[in-house]
Structure 1
């Protein structure tokens, strides 16, 4: 990743003596398997302390690139292309994004307020809201709410809902979410108890169209 190299190279000899390619591979391995840093380092004969510094450096460098890649379409033409790609998935018209939250496990932060990070499944986490496009790319990420925060609260507090409600360029279409969100004129959710063939078909098309985000969550 040439765009990361300026951030990964150190200005003095006190930095890490590893090529950017090695640093990226070590970090991606850690992201992928979530194992102990020592095990990741053993694969490339790198000590745990160096692995820790590598992961921190590369993660910060990737974060600096976020606004370049994680963003909404900027033109009407781009939005129409997104709608068309969503439509090609399951013929669901007018969809411009899918939304859901996923829990990223963390250690207990300690202190009096630590329990707000414990989610309904019993572990400590950050509840991360992600808005995606049909080819498994991200439009938007919100990663600041503790694990006990409900998905709908995060959505209601986000700029995503605001843009849909005011109908600006980014609000020219529908949002698909699961039953954790309230159905509205701009956010469509599945029927909890479908009682007709039409409602069952709607649910099926909704699930298939929204499947991309579920694929991302499964890979977490």
Structure 2
């Protein structure tokens, strides 16, 4: 269509130039020739402006998201696919709504905040490609990529302080798991990344891929108490732990409240359970000279 318009416009220009040259040779018919040129130009302009515009959009279905996920799925299914319950998901959407709310456009309706967050969480929680996620939610592949970036930016601007919570409840919860006097469990996980070309050797982990380490301390219900992220995957978990503020607070006996427990013939604060792969089993921060870690 564009090639046809270009050729037609070239012919029209050549015709106008010819008519103008003919009009210069005949002074008697100047007015008639000018009028004809004007009519020809107007007709050609009308032809260009009356070209029918067609908007193409792929037909997709949102039945899976609108009906099945939002109305039928229970908490177990939400936990399996989104790694959170529906109530938690809705609270997250409420916090992100001011940053993600969009107005409807003339050609299409804006994606609801819930659907934007669901697309991003699904992509982060599952190893699906952009195309599969797009088909799942009934959107375009490019929409998945844009939505993921926008939701991650909105989450990054949430200022939320991770707190210890009720220590008595945490210790009681671990005691029911046959793990007495424990105030938290810590471990690290490797997050795959695309390492910088000039630093790739520093980010390759023992499993053979590039990553950054997220270290987390959780309570008896799996909720975050303390987090630390940013170390390269090559660094050992024990070294990361020993260079965190959590370790320094535990050593100083200031992380947990001033509550003593009896360990042998001495006393200590609550302990922190660690991953055995790190070379530790329990860390009980000393509060008095002579007290030893257990």
Instruction: Tell me what 1:86 maps to.
Output: 174
1:54 aligns with 147
Cα separation, partners in 2 of 1:133 and 1:65, compared to 1, 3 Å? farther
Query: Which residue is 2:228 aligned to?
Result: 142
Q: Deviations over 1:172-219 (max 9, x none)?
A: 4101112313467527xxxxxxxxxxxxxxxxxxxxxxxxxxxxxxxx
Does residue 1:174 correspond to 2:276, yes or no?
no
2:95 maps to 1:8:
no
CA separation in 1, counterparts of 2:237 and 2:159? 22
Structure-1 separation of matches of 2:104 and 2:196: 34
Q: What TM-score do the two structures reach when normalised by structure 2?
A: 0.55
CA distance 1:86–1:141, shift in 2 (3 Å): same
Closer, same or farther: CA 169–20 of 1 in aligned 2, 3 Å: same
Cα displacement (A) at 1:12: 10
- Mapping of residues 70-81 of structure 1, within 5 Å: 70-73=162-165, 78-81=166-169
| CA contact 1:37–1:48 (8 Å) conserved in 2 | yes
* 2:197 matched residue in structure 1: 110
Indicate conservation of the 8 Å contact 1:151/1:181, yes or no.
no
1:158 to 220, 235, 244: 244
TM-score (norm 1): 0.72
Give the equivalent residue in structure 2 for 1:101: 188
Distance across 2 between alignment mates of 1:181 and 1:116: 22
My pick for the range that moved more, 59-68 or 43-52, is: 59-68
Is the CA contact 1:26–1:55 (under 8 Å) kept in the aligned structure 2?
yes
How far apart in 1 are the matches of 2:231 and 2:271? 24
| Secondary structure of the corresponding residue to residue 52 of structure 1 | helix
Note the C-alpha offset of 1:34: 1.9
Aligned length: 178
Deviation, structure 1 residue 139: 1.2
> 1:61 deviation in Å?
2.4
Verify the 8 A CA contact 2:102 2:111 in the aligned structure 1. Answer: no
In our comparison, the structure showing a higher alpha carbon Rg is 2
C-alpha contact 2:187 2:215 (8 A) present in aligned 1: yes
Q: Higher relative contact order by CA 8 Å / sep ≥ 6: 1 or 2?
A: 1
Unaligned 5+ runs, structure 2: 1-92, 258-268, 286-294
Secondary structure at the residue paired with 1:120?
A: coil
What is the Cα deviation at residue 17 of structure 1? Answer: 2.6
Tell me the secondary structure at the aligned position of residue 148 of structure 1: coil
CA RMSD of aligned residues (A): 2.4
Map Cα deviations across residues 133-165 of structure 1 (whole Å, 9 max, x no partner): 111111122110011010011101111111111
